[in-house]
Chains A and B, each alone.
Chain A
Amino acid sequence: MKIHFSNQGNLRNFQAFVRSLDFSDPSKLEITTHDKWITVHPAHLVLAAALAVKVGKQNAAILGDIPDTGRYLDRMGLYKFTKTPSTFAYSEKEPAGRFVPLSEIKTADDQSCFIPEMVPLLHLSEQNAIVVKYIFSELVRNVLEHSLSPYGAIVAAQYYKKTNRISIGICDTGIGIWKSMRENWQPKTDLDAIRLALTPGITGTTRNEGGSIENGGAGLFFTKSMAKITRSYFAIYSGSAEYTLLKHRSDIKGTPTLYADPFRDRHTATNDAPAFEGTLVAVDISLDETPELTALLNIISQVYDDAIKERKRAKFKGPKFI
């Protein structure tokens, strides 16, 4: 497998990154970088780390001449997942910025320990911290419950001061979305499965409205909606499918309209990406645009309710006119 970190690593270019991946040799992982400048999103790092865990540290390497900006890979902990020793040296007192380094979460108890430890690293206001906690909790829980991966979730996050934005990446090398949706929904393609997974009220565990005992089918929809309301990007990659929610246009004022169907949102999507055995979720949250969680939830829940009503109405029997 081969991953290349370019100098354009943001979610706007996420599909280009996905298309550049090479999974042809699953026995080893080779990570290369742009020779002069590296820009990576946490999503790129979690994918690399998750694949490194899967192939084993001894079969994962960072190759070639790494530019000075490659020290970021070291600070985020990527070298620890590979056999390549880091050539970067820095003082522990050097300002490290506000980030959550690559971390592995394998159990619900790991998650409960990680969440309160992680948020202080980002130095967020109380209002923003609760939104970030919410997103991390729901996305990691999705992995632990649905991915069936023995390796759990790999997570990372970065705060960008210039744009006042938090970027989050969460990845697993489990069964992928299509398989987790297959039993109850029979999606034809990986992209159909992603579409279902992003639709409010739909969970892979049941076809019943209101979900199952354990799942309401809202985690991914809530997260995507938080990205949309804060006019940010959201991306999801599983199997051969990749979907990116594009940033809401800045010239359109007011709260962005939410849709139950992710294909009604401004987005890009493909169903012929290199086939990835697992799921990668990436989200940006613009803190300038973040309303209080209560307000966010009120907007999101209205769409959730409407989606349930619409699906129920679709099942109504019509009058028999003869």
Chain B
Amino acid sequence: MKNMIKMHQLIGDFAENKEVAKKLREEIILPSLSEGNEVILDFEGVEGATQSFIHALVSEPIRLLRNDALERLYYKNTNDNVQSIISVVYRYMQESLAI
């Protein structure tokens, strides 16, 4: 099963609100991944994001579920800025967890 999250509807043009990130992480991302589902984060219309937002969104799923999270989390319609930030968080999380 796939769960799609339309990020722009929740965070607007610029993804910085960590309260929203926390809610998404706790209510959708972690439960879905834990049940073996895929999660697709659709960033259409989002022009940028902070490292803090992406960290709050996905670092805990990666820390808890390791490869299961890395394999089943997808990012759709990301521009270069958002891709860069997500890549930064992926790199340092895997580096720090030695995945």
Residues of chain A whose beta carbon lies under 8 Å from any beta carbon of chain B: 108-109, 111-112, 115-116, 126, 130, 133-134, 137-138, 141, 145, 201, 208-211, 213-216, 218-219, 222, 292-294, 297-298, 300-301, 304-305, 308-309, 312
Are A216 and B51 interface neighbours, CB within 8 A? yes
Q: Is the interface of A mostly helix, strand, loop or mixed?
A: helix
Chain B, residues 79-93, CB within 8 Å of chain A (1/0): the string is 011011101110111
Please tell me which one of the listed residues A116, A133, A210, A308 contacts residue B63 in the complex, with CB atoms under 8 A apart: A210
A322 CB, min distance to chain B CBs, angstroms: 29
Cα(A293)–Cα(B48), bound, Å:
9
Are A297 and B88 interface neighbours, CB within 8 A? yes
Residues in B neighbouring A112, C-beta threshold 8 A:
11-12, 16-17
Known: A109-B19, A112-B17, A209-B97. 14 other contacts (CB 8 A): A133-B48, A138-B50, A138-B52, A210-B92, A214-B22, A216-B59, A218-B55, A219-B50, A293-B84, A297-B85, A301-B88, A301-B92, A305-B91, A308-B96
Residues in B neighbouring A301, C-beta threshold 8 A:
84, 87-88, 91-92
Cα(A60)–Cα(B50), bound, Å:
36
The size of the chain B interface, using a CB distance under 8 A, is 35
A209 CB, min distance to chain B CBs, angstroms: 4
Cα(A118)–Cα(B88), bound, Å:
27
Cα(A141)–Cα(B88), bound, Å:
19
Q: A134-B48, A216-B92, A219-B51 are in contact. Are A116 and B56 (CB under 8 A)?
A: no
Would you call B60 an interface residue if the criterion is a C-beta within 8 Å of the partner chain's C-beta atoms? yes
Cα(A301)–Cα(B89), bound, Å:
9
Would you call B75 an interface residue if the criterion is a C-beta within 8 Å of the partner chain's C-beta atoms? no
Residues of chain B whose beta carbon lies under 8 Å from any beta carbon of chain A: 11-14, 16-19, 22, 47-48, 50-53, 55-56, 59-60, 63, 80-81, 83-85, 87-89, 91-93, 95-98
Please, could you name 10 A-B residue pairs with CB atoms under 8 Å apart, sorted by A? A109-B17, A112-B11, A133-B48, A138-B50, A145-B18, A210-B63, A216-B59, A218-B52, A222-B51, A301-B84
B59 CB, min distance to chain A CBs, angstroms: 7
Are B87 and A130 interface neighbours, CB within 8 A? no
Residues in B neighbouring A138, C-beta threshold 8 A:
16, 50-52
**Residue of B whose beta carbon sits closest to that of A119:** B14
Please tell me which one of the listed residues B11, B51, B96 contacts residue A210 in the complex, with CB atoms under 8 A apart: B96
Q: A111-B16, A112-B12, A130-B47 are in contact. Are A294 and B84 (CB under 8 A)?
A: yes
A152 CB, min distance to chain B CBs, angstroms: 15
Cα(A249)–Cα(B14), bound, Å:
33
Are A304 and B48 interface neighbours, CB within 8 A? no
Are B18 and A308 interface neighbours, CB within 8 A? no
Are A141 and B92 interface neighbours, CB within 8 A? no
Cα(A219)–Cα(B53), bound, Å:
11
B84 CB, min distance to chain A CBs, angstroms: 4
Are A214 and B56 interface neighbours, CB within 8 A? yes
Are A108 and B19 interface neighbours, CB within 8 A? yes
Are A209 and B96 interface neighbours, CB within 8 A? yes
Please tell me which one of the listed residues A111, A130, A219 contacts residue B81 in the complex, with CB atoms under 8 A apart: A130
Residues in A neighbouring B51, C-beta threshold 8 A:
138, 216, 218-219, 222
Residues in B neighbouring A305, C-beta threshold 8 A:
91-92, 95
Q: A218-B51, A301-B92 are in contact. Are A133 and B56 (CB under 8 A)?
A: no
Are A141 and B52 interface neighbours, CB within 8 A? yes
Residues in B neighbouring A134, C-beta threshold 8 A:
48, 50
